[in-house]
Amino acid sequence: MPEADLEVLRHRLHQSRDVVVLTGAGISAESGVPTFRGPDGLWRQYRAVDLATPQAFQRDPRLVWEFYQWRRQLLAPLQPNPAHRALAALEQRCPRFTLITQNIDGLHALAGSRRIIELHGNIWHLRCTGCGQVREDRRLDLPPLPACQTCGALLRPHVVWFGETLDPAVLAAAYAAVAACDLMLVIGTSGLVQPAASLGYLAKQRGAFVAEINLEPTPQSDLYDLSLLGKAGDLVPRLLPAAR
């Protein structure tokens, strides 16, 4: 990793007024969070991508909830890594800061980040299939078919499943933040999942300086001003000295 590139990014951070950060699975993987893709994408004999769908929940909600209970138990002991904590510190030093994440694990909030847009929801939040109420619930011993305390209808994980669209209000907030920023960091994303994959490009079109931090190049790497290859936990903390 050329130190000169890091110095350029530190200088840009020092000069910026409005910072947006987009994070993906790569930053959480450094905390031990498994992903849907690869060898971690199998639960029992089921592919995770086949269970995380509205059709699977309609067909067998008990099985889907068992899968999500397993995931919640897996995530519960995990802690934010240095990249999560550095971004929380960066938020404190930047006048205008927005963190957009594709991750559902809640680790950014655990690290202290507050201005968070969770594109794909949060596994620690439950949503009522009847009245639509959303509430946080971190219990690891939920009933097999948890029910809403308000209306009694079945609860579901408040996450965006495959085949579902993002919440329009959440997506609009993300677009607004990207349109207003003068610097954007894209950290730990594959650059393959839309609409998140297009956010860096949109920021670049609006005149922002865009830098990517990832283990390997992505389809967007050549579009950005900088592409820094390495672990987020190593690189992101090295940006802090220049932040206000």
Q: Are 48 and 42 in contact (CB under 8 A)?
A: yes
> Which of 84, 120, 125, 158 is flagged as catalytic?
120
Residue type for 214, please? N
Closest to 20 (Cα-Cα) out of 107, 106, 119:
119
Structure tokens at 184: 């954007």
Q: Please give the radius of gyration of the chain, using alpha carbons only, rounded to the nearest integer.
A: 18
Residue 116, helix vs strand vs coil: strand
120 given a catalytic annotation: yes
Burial (CB count within 10 angstroms: exposed 0-12, middle 13-18, buried 19+), residue 44: exposed
Instruction: Kindly state the greatest CA–CA separation across the chain.
Output: 58
CA distance 232 to 237: 8
**C-beta separation of 9 from 241 below 8 A:** no
Q: Residue 202 corresponds to which tokens in the numbers above?
A: 């949109």
148: left (phi over 0), alpha (psi -120 to 50) or beta: beta
Which residue numbers are catalytic? 120
